Chains A and B, each alone.
Chain A
Amino acid sequence: MKEIGDALSRVESFVLELELYYFNSSSAKLLFDIFDAVDEAAADGLDVQIKWNYRSDDDSMQEAGEDFMEDVENATFIMQEI
């Protein structure tokens, strides 16, 4: 997580694009921590976009994205049906 923070301090904008099919609860925590780190960078003025790609028939990944979106306050969180 420190590496992500360091990397974010060296760029002007940042796009995090994800396309997942399944993740377990340990990975949910990791994803949350990553979103938290980039959201914090966005609060400090960095232009951050998170693109959450989910397949049109995949309710569970759509709901998971919506859940994460609720906790992202400063970065732009885009739900993208593919």
Chain B
Amino acid sequence: MAEYSVIGKRLPRVDAPEKITGQAKYAADYSLPGMLWCKVVRSPYAHARILTIDTSRAEQLPGVEAVITGKDFGGWTWGFMPATRDEPPLALDKVRYMYEAVAAVAAIDEDIAEEATELIKVDYEELPGVFDPEEAMQDGAPQVHDHVKNNMSVEYHWNFGDVEKAFAESYIVREDRFRTARATHGYLEPPAALAYYDPAGSITIWPAKQSPYFHYRHLAACFKLPLSKVRVIQPYIGGGFGGTKNDSLAGDFCAVMLSKKAGKPVKFVYTQEEELTTSRRRHAMIVYNKMGVKKDGTLMAIHSRVIADGGGYTAIGPLTMYLTGFMTTLPYKLPHFKHEAYRIFTNNPIGAAMRGHGITHTRFACEIQMEMIAEELGIDPVEMRLRNAIDNPEPGTRYETINKVTLKTCGVKEAIKTLSEDPIWREKDKMPKREGTIAWGVGLSGTSYLSGARLMGHQSCGAMVRICEDGTVNLITGATDCGQGSDTVLCMIAAEELGVALEDIDIKRVDTAYTPVDPGSYGSRVTVLAGQATKLAAADAKRQLLEFAAKTWGVKAEDIEIKEGIVSVRKDSEKTMPFSRLARIASYSGSGAVIIGKGYSGYGLEPLDFSSGIGNGGTSYSFTAQLAKVGVDMETGQVLVTDFVIAHDAGRPLNPVGAEGQNEGGAVQGLGQTIYEDFIMDKGKTLNPTFLDYKMPRSTDVPAIKVIDIITDDPDGPFGAKEASEGSIVSTPPAIVSAIHDATGIWFKELPITPEKIVMALREKGEY
């Protein structure tokens, strides 16, 4: 194994100094002289026709400078794919979910803007709504979009192998219905932006976006400007987790349109209630799962029928539904599989991406069903998994699934074996099963996630490494760090490749006027793809520098190395100089040389068709096994999660502190969606749109967490790296559900497993 100087070291985040001193600026922290405040008017109905909008009283309110409605956008709509651009910035003829935006105002202060929203009179004709995706699929259900029959937003049908034959040959075939929670991201920074439309025809915006280049395209299209006239300057981002901050929102478009109308900068900051009622949330899904297994535990076939509540618009839904199925063949060998995915329009808020996107739903169903079958067959959960788990391919070879997903590394077996030796698993049969009212249980899971997500079409991802004459370095990428630590990892990659120290590398955030285009923080792609681009850019800069060193010393460039800031000739100890001197020599060479290295990611460029389910949705795949230990209060149904042990194959963790933090954070978010988090809905209305009522884990709720690295050094990842930020939100729910079963003897198939559900199930079982 190579010896690294920077990679693999426990280094502090490069953005820590600004963040711990309160100097890091987030979107809401920006202001400009003469700035106006934008507030959005929202529909009180989940499904209604807009008859008239009267803005005259708002316009007359002193301090109001501009008012807009849907008509101002001229019928423009946006969406993830050309065929699914169904969402207008402000509703035009009809509202499709409760609190959808219908108008917006800009005023000299927030209070006046708020008052003006109350003066806008909208007449609606309320329409019958549909809120349950299974009802919405039926003939005769209210149609959310007039042209979409049965409210079918996205539909895929895949069939690999011969599922029916495999079921017939199985010893056990189980069919179960699973349901996942109406969970959401829960970042603390609500959506916000400060926007200025320059009357000369350009936009500058500081928005809270983890994919600023998506937003850049949306704005160019909406305002019919060339991309060169749209400048998105990325502030620090207060958490993302996919979905809302990957996409544009009513507030973004309205702030720009109001600025265009008023000729002044306009700022909006959503309230947390606006965020929790109207922003994109995780799809709630129903999974009908059928699994066939031989008597010896060999997995034969899976047939999943997934029904997702899509809410009022398509958003990122086509990708979500693809992700629910293409990885059913990981991490266990599966010769036959059939997948039916339905994303259904309802009059609920929009379902979209969230950490563990798509995969967490179906993997939860498959893991639990496999555990249920193992129990029926009397096979130990570790043994059941090891019999089916995919082996780590020999170096130079790859494993291919039936739907042509290919792996070069796979640490799932090693991860499961490692956990089977952990004291929590080894001693689980010796621990007291019951202490007072508390029943104890331990559960295991073994799951997979993709790294380097591939988006159909747009995949551009580049980096530039600019050498300053004093030997310091500017790293310029289009990548966005929304908290996961990728800026630090990219700087580490540049430092390692150049042979300098981490503190010599500086990275700035995206400014679309100067940085290269990039899809942003998305599908665990930044370290893998922007990391590869950065590594290549640094190698390019280094190559240029070495030419100057070779000329200075009269040796061949390939005989020179740079390590820890020292340039030296390998077989000549006399010839050595600091990196800073070489940078100066190169910059002052008189040739006019400017040392800029360039690189771009070459992965994932082959075409991908969501509707076939064939091929790689990622460039590599991570594997996670997890143990959870829980205590269930058999009287109150309260679940106390005391321990997590996570064995994660991230290929190689480039910054172990960061990778551990991602595993811990993902697992605790997964804990929330397993036992507490759920939007309570009543006919399209979110009844718990506050952090008090939408319960996220607090510091007093989290278990002791141990993270174990499984090193597999993926040949396609920069320095061996694969995904590190989403795997544990997939592995956590099944581990907890199995642990609750171990404690109570009950299999819960609907998340979240609230105390009420536990008490009801115990009562049904006759425990009371």
A and B: interacting chains: no
Q: Which residues of A contact B (CB under 8 A)?
A: none
Q: Which residues of B contact A (CB under 8 A)?
A: none
